[in-house]
Structure 1
Amino acid sequence: MEDLNEIYKSYADEVKRFLICLTSNVDLAEELTQETFYQAVKSIHRYNGKCKMSVWLCQIAKHSYYNFLKKEKNLHSTSVENMMQMGLDIPSNNDLPDVAVIKRSTLISVHKEIHQLQEPYREIFLLRASLHLSFKEIGEIFNKSENWARVTFYRAKLKLSERIDPHEL
């Protein structure tokens, strides 16, 4: 355990500086530094000494950052669907007035962005998100394949996720 503490003391600043360069975000770099050392502890048995310890740790840090980006991308693209669902929910009598206003505001913001999409993205997104049609049904409407509908819907979600920041809504 003392060896692991020494490794942390010796390399934490170097790993953090590397992550700051990679992410351009000090807070994220600090969080990923902790994740890096957590992963290093879990896999210390795989360190074979063929490279410097700092290089090995920076490789782990890079992979931790890439994993973070994958998670963020997935969260961001699925958040568009979540915002649509949240906006489509009709405010109930149990909702506080502020919640109803936020839901309505979200719905309006999302719909503005949807209507700025080019065709066929706009129509496919609306058919899937609003009418809950299957990809097979959407493909039939456009005389295309189910796979075409699936890919086009995915691309529409990506375009929306690029335009909509869920933290601003």
Structure 2
Amino acid sequence: MYETCYMKVYSFVMTLAGNRETAQEITQDTFFKAMTSKQPFRGEAQQLSWLCAIAKNLYTDELRRNSRNGGEIPEATPDDSKDLEQSLTDKDQCFLIHRALHELEEPYKEVFQLRVFGELSFSQIASIFGKTESWARVTYHRARMKLKERLDENEK
């Protein structure tokens, strides 16, 4: 479960938190809670949905804890420095990127996620797949090109 869902849960939490350290901590706590929970996965929903629900609850708890300790809860509204139209455009673009990434075939999808969201080096990615570093570089480059092509197609 950890190997198949870690990057997806981390990406979800990263979207919520916008902070790498917080996202890593909450993702680790999510898997710890899932493994030690008195109420194990019952199969009523997809495993990823269950994990993301746990992660969202942990993130909400973190926000509450920060607000009690004098920290501020991030606003869900756009920054004052950006106008509303630009903020909506950014969200739309982000959605299109995530949708294109979701539709990307393997191994391109996983290599791209490991490189971008996981911030792994090409040698680390290569060792995960049991391939060479050159393979990891080429696969990442091809994944980027495929994503760019799909995004360009959506703009037309």
Larger Rg: 1
The bucket for the TM-score relative to the shorter chain is 0.3 to 0.5
TM-score (norm 1): 0.42
